[in-house]
Amino acid sequence: MRIFYSIFNLKVLLFDTNMEKGRFSLLLLEPGEIYFEDFSVILIPSDTTCKNYDCKKQEGRLKMCSKSLVFDPRDITKAIIKIPLKECVVIEQFKGLAKFITSKNVLNVNCKEYLEMLEGNIIAPYKFKGSANFLFLLNYASISDCLHQISQLCRACTLPPGEQADMIAAIVHSRQSRVSFDPLWLDLYEKVVIELQANKICPLVINPGRIVLSTMRLYFQPYNNVEMCPVVKIDLNAVRQIVKRRFLLRHIGLEVYCNENSSNSHIYLSFRNQTDRDNFFATIMDQPELRLNRLEQDVITLQWQNGIISNFDYLLYINSLGDRTVNDLTQYPVFPWVLSNYLSDKLDLSDPLNYRDLSKPVGALNPDRLRRLMERYHEMPHPKFIYGSHYSTPGFVLYYLARLYPHYVLCLQSGRFDHPDRMFNSVADAYKNCVSNMSDFKELIPEFYDVSTGGTFLTNSLGIDFGRRHNDVKVGDVELPPWADGPAHFVETLRDALESDVVSDGLHRWIDLIFGYRQQGEEAVNSNNVFYHLCYEGNVDLEGVRDLNRRHALEVQIMEFGQIPKQVFKVPHPKRKIGPPILTEPYEIGDPTAGAAGRWRRARGLELYASFNSHKGAVNFLFVSEDGERVTSVGHDAKLKIFSIAQKKQTRSASVGTAPLSSCVPMLDVGVLAIGTWDNQILFYDLDYGKVTDNILAHEDAITCMTFGASARLLASGSSDCTVKIWRGSNGRGFLKSFRTLDHNSQVTCFCFDAEDKHLAVGTQDGEIYVWETDRFDTFERHDVSASKINALVYGPDGQKLAVGARDGTFKILEVNTGMSVLSKSLASPVTALCWRENLLALGCEDGTLHVWDMFEVRLLLDAAAHSGSVNTVEISRDGDVIATGSADRIVKIWKAEGAVFDR
C-alpha cells in the first residue's frame, strides 16, 4: 500500500536534520538544545602574532545556542569548536592589546573545557579539550547586542536543570514573540487563517518557529537559518494525512504527511499546549483545499485481515495509531522479534519451532528469567513493575542504527560512541541477550523488515572507527546468522518470516500486548507485561507539575526510559485470515475484474434491469430464489408477490391474511413459505397449492423478522415482544413446535444465522447485539454497538464478522468474537437493509440510496438513488449477478452492474 511508504519512508527516516546547509547541524548540540542565530566572525587563536595572523585566523560563523557557542569554520578540514556555556569563566568584550586587532568589536571567551568535532570532516567521537581562550572578531554584529544575549544564556546555564530549562524557555518565548510571519510569502489572493508558535520536531532536535495556515498553504517559519529554505511551504491540496500525536507524553504534537510529489513531504510539529494544537487541527481540517485520504484509515484492519495489506504495513499503521513515529526516538515504531533461530546453517520458515512465541512479551520468553523477575516483583512496593527497562527507547533505536546514523549516537551520548563490546555486533548475541539478560527486553525496529533498505543499517559503510572489542577485533559490520547470505538476504528472510502463516496466526496476540487490551491493568499483570509506571500514558501530568526541577527530572525519565504506546484497542484484536481469500468466483489476486464480483468492480454504475410496481403498500421483505430466477416479496398490503427476473413480469400475487406482512422465508424440501405478520402470527403458504396451509400465534407482539437455518433446519422468529423463538419439526406443511425462547432487553429488530448455522446474531431496539450458540442456545457474546436502534445486520461469509446498520446512520463491520469494530462509517441517512454475499455487500438507506461495497478490497464500488422511499430490504442473487431491492415507495427493483453482460 503506497500510503504507508508515504507516511513511513524508512530510507529517508526523517533524519532530515539540515546537514545539507553545511557541516553545522542541530545534532551537534545537546538533545533539545535551541539554536538562535549566528554571526560572521574571525576566530583569532590564542597563539596568534602579527606575523602569523593571516595564516592563523579562521573565518567562519559563530552559532549562539541555548547551552553553547559553536564556531563553524569556513575551512571544512578544520574542526568545529563547541564551547559549553556552563564551562565558561569569562565572556566579555576584549580589553587586551594586540597590534593585529584594531577593532573593539571582539568577543573574549575563556572556558574550562571545549570540544572539537568533525575534524577533517570525519564523523568521530568528539575531542574534549582543556581550558582555552578564544577571541571572536565580529564582522558585522554589534558586540554590545551579542554580548548581552550570550551573557543572559550563560546565566541560565548556572541554574539547576529545571530552573535552567524554564529560563531558556522564557528567553525562547521572548525572542519568538518579537518575530512575525513575513506576508510576502503569501500569494496575491491568499489569506492567513491562523498563526501560532510551534516547534518543528526531528529526532533529538527541536527547532522553534511560527506555524501559519493560509487559505492555500501551510507554512513553517523557523526563528533561525538552519533550514535549507527560510520558510517550509506545503500546499494544502498535497496533504494526505494529518495525525494528532503525543510528544513527551503531552498531547501537543501534530504530524502532517503529503503526497510523494510534494517538495516537502512531511512535517512534525509540537505546540505550546494542547489547546493550541487542537485549535490548529480543527482549523486546518475545515479548509476546503484539504484533500485527505480519509477512507484509508477506516478500512486498514479489514484489509489486513483479508490479506490485501501485509503484516509489515499493518504494523506501521498500528504504530502510527499508537503515536509511534520515526520523528521521535522516544516513540519510535516498534516491531517484534519473530524468529528465534539465529544459529542454524539453514532455516525452515515453515517450522513453528524457529519462531518466537508472540503471545508473550520478550521478558517472559525465558521461564527461568521470568521466575526471578516475578520474585522481585512480588517483593516490590507499589507501584510495582516486572521489567526495569523498556522494549523501545532512544538508546535502543540507535543501538540498532549506530552504523547508519553515527551522528545521532554522538548527539545522544554526549559525543561518545558506546563501548565496542556493548554495541550491536551480532544478531545472535543480541537475541540471546534479549531473552536471558535481567535488564534487556528490547524489541526490534522496522528496518529489520524493510527490504527496500537492503539491510544497509547492518554494514559500516561509512567506515566509522567504533573501536576494538575485547578480542582486539575492530567493530565493523554486524555478524549475521549462518543462514543469511548477506544483509539484504537477512532482511528479506526476516520479512518472509513476518509475512508467514506462522506469524500471521499469532501476530494479533503481540498487538494485544503492545497496543491492545493486554497492555495495561489486570490483563497486563496476567500477561507478565508490566513496566515502570511513569512510561504509561496518563500516569504523569507534566502540566500539573509546578516544581521545575521535578518536572525536568520527569522529562528526562520519559526521554531515557521510553514510552508505552497509546492504547489503541480495548478488546482482543482479531486475527488475520490464513489461507486463500474468500472470492465470489475463483480468480487471480492480480486480476480483480474477473468473475461476477469483478463485473461490479468494473461497472460504470448501477443499471436498473427491471422494476415492479404492484404492491399497494411498502415492500417490507424480499428474497431471490436459489436459482436466481425469481424474486419473492411481502408487503404492508398483506400481499405476497413473485416476479420472474428473466421475463421481467409478475407471476403470482396472493392475499395472505389481513395484517401487514413483515418477513418471508422459504422452507427447504417442502415447497412452503413461512411468513411473519404484524398480528403476531407465522403463516405457512404452500406454493404448489397457492394457499395458507397452517398458522401459529407465535408471539405476544408483531413479528419483526424471520430467518431459516437450512443446515440446522431451524426457523427463527423475532418480535417486538423482545423475544426470539426457535422452531423445529415439520409435518410437510410447516414448523409446528417452538422449542426455545430467547429473551432480550428490548424489541428484536433483526437477526441472522452465520453460514453454518452455529450462531444466531440478534439486533435490538436499544443498540445491542446478542450472539447465541445454536447447539444449546447459550449467549455466546453480547456487544453494545450503537446508541440507537439496530436496523439491519448480516454475517460475513467467514462467520467471523457482522455488518451492522443503525438508526443513527452508522455502518459497522464488527468482529464477532472480540466485539472490535474493524470498519465504521457514518452515512447521511439511517441504514435500513443489508445483504452480504461472498465479497459483495449491498446496503440500503432510509433516504432511498443503495450502496455496493467490495468487502475484499474494502471499498465502495457504486452508489445510487435507487428509490424515492426507504430501502426496506435488499438481496444479492447467489451468483452475484443481480441485486434486488424493495422500498417504502411500494416498488421492487432489480439492479445489475452497468456495462456487464447479462444472459439468462
pLDDT computed for residue 54 by the predictor? 82
Please check whether residues 473 and 517 belong to one and the same domain: yes
pLDDT computed for residue 818 by the predictor? 86
Number of CB atoms found within 10 A of residue 901's CB: 8
Please check whether residues 252 and 332 belong to one and the same domain: no
Query: In the chain, what are the helix, strand and coil shares in percent, each to the nearest 5?
Result: 25, 35, 45
Length of the chain: 904
Range of the structural domain that residue 222 is part of: 183-292
pLDDT computed for residue 842 by the predictor? 96
**Is position 36 within any domain?**
yes
Above 90 in pLDDT, residue 676?
yes
Segment 798-805 shows an average pLDDT of 93
H or E, element range at 822: strand 821-826
CA-to-CA distance for 692 and 684, rounded, in angstroms?
Answer: 6
Outline where 128-182 has alpha helix (H): 143-156, 161-177
Please check whether residues 153 and 263 belong to one and the same domain: no
pLDDT computed for residue 610 by the predictor? 95
| Domain final residue, candidates 127, 153, 175 | 175
Segment 685-709 shows an average pLDDT of 92
Number of CB atoms found within 10 A of residue 509's CB: 18
**Is position 412 within any domain?**
yes
Which pLDDT tens digit goes with each residue over 836-877?
998 899 999 999 999 999 999 898 999 999 999 999 999 999
Residue 189, exposed/middle/buried by CB under 10 A (0-12, 13-18, 19+)?
A: exposed
| Domain final residue, candidates 226, 257, 292 | 292
Question: How large a percentage of the chain has pLDDT more than 70?
Answer: 93
Segment 170-174 shows an average pLDDT of 83
Please check whether residues 397 and 436 belong to one and the same domain: yes
Q: Nearest 5°: CA angle at 741, between 735 and 746?
A: 125
Per the DSSP assignment, residues forming a β-bridge with 873 are 886
Task: Give the pLDDT band (50/70/90) at residue 734.
Answer: low
Task: Give the pLDDT band (50/70/90) at residue 586.
Answer: very low
Question: How large a percentage of the chain has pLDDT more than 90?
Answer: 67
CA-to-CA distance for 758 and 755, rounded, in angstroms?
Answer: 8
Burial 55-64 (b: 16+ CB within 10 A, else e): eebbebbbbb
Segment 880-899 shows an average pLDDT of 94
Per the DSSP assignment, residues forming a β-bridge with 653 are 641
Above 70 in pLDDT, residue 744?
yes
CA-to-CA distance for 853 and 842, rounded, in angstroms?
Answer: 6
Please check whether residues 96 and 162 belong to one and the same domain: yes
Task: Give the pLDDT band (50/70/90) at residue 103.
Answer: confident
pLDDT computed for residue 13 by the predictor? 44
Above 80 in pLDDT, residue 81?
yes
Q: How far is residue 548 CA from its own chain's centroid?
A: 34
Please check whether residues 143 and 248 belong to one and the same domain: no
Three-state secondary structure of 596-624: HHHHHHCCCCEEEEEEECCCCCCEEEEEE
pLDDT computed for residue 735 by the predictor? 61
Segment 374-399 shows an average pLDDT of 94
**Is position 387 within any domain?**
yes
Task: Identify the weakest region by mean pLDDT among 287-301, 403-417, 473-487, 502-516.
Answer: 287-301
**Is position 854 within any domain?**
no
Per the DSSP assignment, residues forming a β-bridge with 266 are 257
Please check whether residues 71 and 113 belong to one and the same domain: yes
Helix, coil or strand: residue 534: helix
Q: Nearest 5°: CA angle at 270, between 265 and 272?
A: 150
Task: Give the pLDDT band (50/70/90) at residue 17.
Answer: very low
Three-state secondary structure of 411-429: HHCCCCCCCHHHCCCEHHH
DSSP result, 27-47? GGS-TTPPEEEEEEEEEE-TT
Q: Choose the most confident range, by mean pLDDT, from 50-59, 194-203, 573-582.
A: 194-203
Residue 373, exposed/middle/buried by CB under 10 A (0-12, 13-18, 19+)?
A: buried
Above 60 in pLDDT, residue 3?
no
| Domain final residue, candidates 561, 590, 614 | 561
Q: Nearest 5°: CA angle at 481, between 477 and 485?
A: 75
**Is position 836 within any domain?**
no
Q: In this structure, what C-alpha cell is assigned to residue 32?
A: 533539545
pLDDT computed for residue 904 by the predictor? 42
pLDDT computed for residue 736 by the predictor? 65
H or E, element range at 781: strand 779-784
Task: Give the pLDDT band (50/70/90) at residue 295.
Answer: low
Please check whether residues 462 and 550 belong to one and the same domain: yes
Which pLDDT tens digit goes with each residue over 527-540?
999 999 888 887 76
pLDDT computed for residue 580 by the predictor? 59
pLDDT computed for residue 259 by the predictor? 85
Pairing outcome for strands 639-644 and 630-635 = antiparallel
Above 90 in pLDDT, residue 596?
no
For residues 607 and 867, the answer to whether their CB atoms sit within 8 Å is no
Q: Nearest 5°: CA angle at 456, between 454 and 458?
A: 115
pLDDT computed for residue 2 by the predictor? 43
CA-to-CA distance for 310 and 308, rounded, in angstroms?
Answer: 7
pLDDT computed for residue 135 by the predictor? 93
Q: Which residues, 6 or more positions from 764, have their beta carbon under 8 angstroms from its beta carbon?
A: 722, 744, 745, 746, 747, 748, 749, 770, 789, 790
Task: Give the pLDDT band (50/70/90) at residue 229.
Answer: confident
Segment 701-713 shows an average pLDDT of 90
Above 60 in pLDDT, residue 564?
yes
pLDDT computed for residue 730 by the predictor? 61
Task: Give the pLDDT band (50/70/90) at residue 345.
Answer: very high
Task: Give the pLDDT band (50/70/90) at residue 170.
Answer: confident
Task: Give the pLDDT band (50/70/90) at residue 745.
Answer: very high
pLDDT computed for residue 11 by the predictor? 42
CATH number of the domain within which 420 lies: 1.10.1540.10
Number of CB atoms found within 10 A of residue 865's CB: 11
Please check whether residues 159 and 189 belong to one and the same domain: no
Given the C-alpha cell 572507527, which residue does it identify?
465
Provide Rg for the chain, Cα atoms.
Answer: 35
Task: Identify the weakest region by mean pLDDT among 488-492, 562-566, 608-612, 704-708.
Answer: 562-566
Task: Identify the weakest region by mean pLDDT among 11-25, 50-64, 168-182, 294-308.
Answer: 11-25
**Is position 700 within any domain?**
no
List strands edge to edge, sheet with 691-697.
661-667, 672-677, 681-686, 691-697
Task: Give the pLDDT band (50/70/90) at residue 901.
Answer: low
Above 90 in pLDDT, residue 808?
yes
Per the DSSP assignment, residues forming a β-bridge with 35 are 65
Above 50 in pLDDT, residue 5?
no
Please check whether residues 160 and 193 belong to one and the same domain: no
Please check whether residues 433 and 449 belong to one and the same domain: yes
Segment 355-363 shows an average pLDDT of 97
Please check whether residues 286 and 392 belong to one and the same domain: no
Tell me which residue of 302, 293, 295, 294 sits closest to 823, measured CA to CA. Answer: 302
**Is position 349 within any domain?**
yes
Which pLDDT tens digit goes with each residue over 397-456?
999 999 999 999 999 999 999 999 999 999 999 999 999 999 999 999 999 999 999 999
Task: Give the pLDDT band (50/70/90) at residue 298.
Answer: low
Helix, coil or strand: residue 133: strand
CA-to-CA distance for 812 and 830, rounded, in angstroms?
Answer: 12
Q: In this structure, what C-alpha cell is assigned to residue 483?
A: 543462514
Above 90 in pLDDT, residue 595?
no
Residue type, 470: H
CATH number of the domain within which 195 lies: 2.30.29.30
* Selected residue with higher pLDDT from 20 and 119: 119
List strands edge to edge, sheet with 821-826.
790-795, 801-806, 810-815, 821-826
pTM: 0.89
Task: Give the pLDDT band (50/70/90) at residue 731.
Answer: low
pLDDT, averaged across the chain = 89
Tell me which residue of 453, 448, 458, 456 sits closest to 479, measured CA to CA. Answer: 458
Residue type, 628: G
User: For the chain, what is the domain count?
Assistant: 3
Task: Identify the weakest region by mean pLDDT among 225-234, 301-310, 315-324, 367-376.
Answer: 225-234
**Is position 159 within any domain?**
yes
Largest Cα separation within the chain, whole Å, is 124
